[in-house]
Structure 1
Amino acid sequence: MDNGCEVFAKLPNPNAGAARFTIASEVATRKLAKVLKAPVPRVLAGSFDAASNHVGAEYIIEEKAPGVRLGSVWKHWPRNAKLQLITQLIDIQNTLASVTFDMHGCIYFKDDLRALGEEPEEANIQSATASIPGIFAIGPLTTGELWNGVRSGMNLDRGPWNDPSDYTLALGHNEIAYIRSYAIARMYYYRSLNTQEHPEDGLALLTQYMKVARYLIPRSTNGAVSNEAVSKNVLTHPDLHLDDIFVDPETLQITRIVDWQSACVAPLFYHADVPRMCTHRGPLQEGWVVPERPEEFDTLSAEEQRKIDDDLESQILHKY
């Protein structure tokens, strides 16, 4: 810029889903994250209406994240520094999870949802620590699985949903609608080298799924969700990996978290996962067991010892 400031411009990738909804939701989500003091880049400008702006595309212009990408320094950090950073992430996620919503869906500004042809659903945001302005609403999910290809023109159930089981049912209904309208017989070699897979096979399987879909949600004997704490609708980052996090290389503090595209509010048990940046790729001991070196470790070669230590660190980061 003329004043020396650096900014980034984001344009939606074709595989990102519905560009208008994706951009509108990300801008609103990051605004809410800012209200909660999460370290997200400030949005300087944005538009989800390609037909009316000078760019001719949906876009977000945002501040340049200070610091360096975590992926460029992670492998050089000692284990304690990595554990301290994971603790920072846990604190940020806890801040986000302390705010609850009545519905499962994506966050939008109310006025933007109306401009997108949707009726805004009140977010009913509950927070004991932050004052949330009444500008937000809950609307449809923006994930590409619901919008890519011919699905963009289908009348699918993309939310929002009041009950966790409504989502499990919507998954089935949406796939049934797609198969009936567009699926054709095909060879699927993971299934058979000789016979085709037919749409009727998928419909038969989905029929069985629909019979049990409501029971996939943890419930008590009286039909209520069994654990209210894990069923609350909360916001989390959709896919934390090393290049989504910027850090100060001197203080090792998180400066920004980027890539909030398709972030959604959902029951906590739907979010239950280990972030990709910490996921161990291999066998993992179950339970509260700290991985340890094998007894014969001292007899192994330096290369074998290095591999074992790398694997142990990966397991420890996953468990932490």
Structure 2
Amino acid sequence: MGSRVTGTAQREAWLQRVLPPVEQVRPGVWSIPVPIPHNPLRYTLSYAFTGDTVVLVDPGWDAPESRHALKEGLATAGADLTDVAGIVLTHIHPDHHGLSGWLRGESGAWIGMHPAEAATLPGRLWRGWRSQDDRRWLREHGVPEADVDALTIAPRRMDELRTMAEPDRMIGDGDRLPVDGRDLRAVWTPGHTPGHLCLHDAEAGVLLTGDHLLPRISPNIGVHDNHGDPLTAYRKSLELMGRFDADEALPAHEYRFRGIGDRAADLLTHHDERGAEILVVVRDRAASAWQIAAGLTWSRGWDALSGGLRRMALGETLAHLHHLAAAGHLTPVAGRPNVWRLAG
């Protein structure tokens, strides 16, 4: 049957390239679009659970216009910044977690996330990060010297990331969130990030999917160091989604939809096809992750990607390579650069 658009006003706004309206999607549940300046994703859909107090999910990117939009969205929902008692993060990417520190300062709200997510906060994970280490990592995976500068994370940007807010409480799989009058449960869905959470309200019939499931695009599943197998984790998380097929998906980007199980199946098929494409690329010779990425099909085309987008493509390719190696299809060969060949 496939997935079906339910957020029709949101989709129309997406097609018109404008900000969608603030909407009450269920009694006491509000969708508030928070802009992401100069970004093709355009906005994050923050969700406010209102009652005597407000619990806010994914406040969004930190920019003046984003702060204004969040404040105005809460006002439409009959609330103020000072009513926010808690902030729940599906994950810590800046378009979700960026405003958390500011909002906590305005309201005194607690911040909650999965412990595996807290462990990846840049202030913890990259405490000793140096730009020369990043350059070395890029070269290890075959990035040409002409592209290294454009793909290296700028020290100023890293400093900004390292100041993102620390959590006040941890939220584990199955935990009930402190939302007035609701049985809102956390569902751990690692893949896009190690501690990504979806949030399920069975009575309301909604699943807040964060970036785990989006109606139109595939979330980036990337390896950004030399460890981990996020794609295998993501596939397992997708396989959980059938149990929520009766629910409406409230994603963090684009628009609401139904058909959660079908959308998850589509994404599994997408990753199967990408894995098969990689095996064709390395069929005749070993290649670096960069060479493999350049040989794959990208929606914009490889030549149209530059800077951060090429870095994301490299990370996504590495995730597929790690998954294929874990499945016994590929073998990594250390060198300068590292290369990958068919197993056996």
Give the TM-score normalised by the residue count of structure 1.
Answer: 0.26
Give the TM-score normalised by the residue count of structure 2.
Answer: 0.25
More strand by share: 2
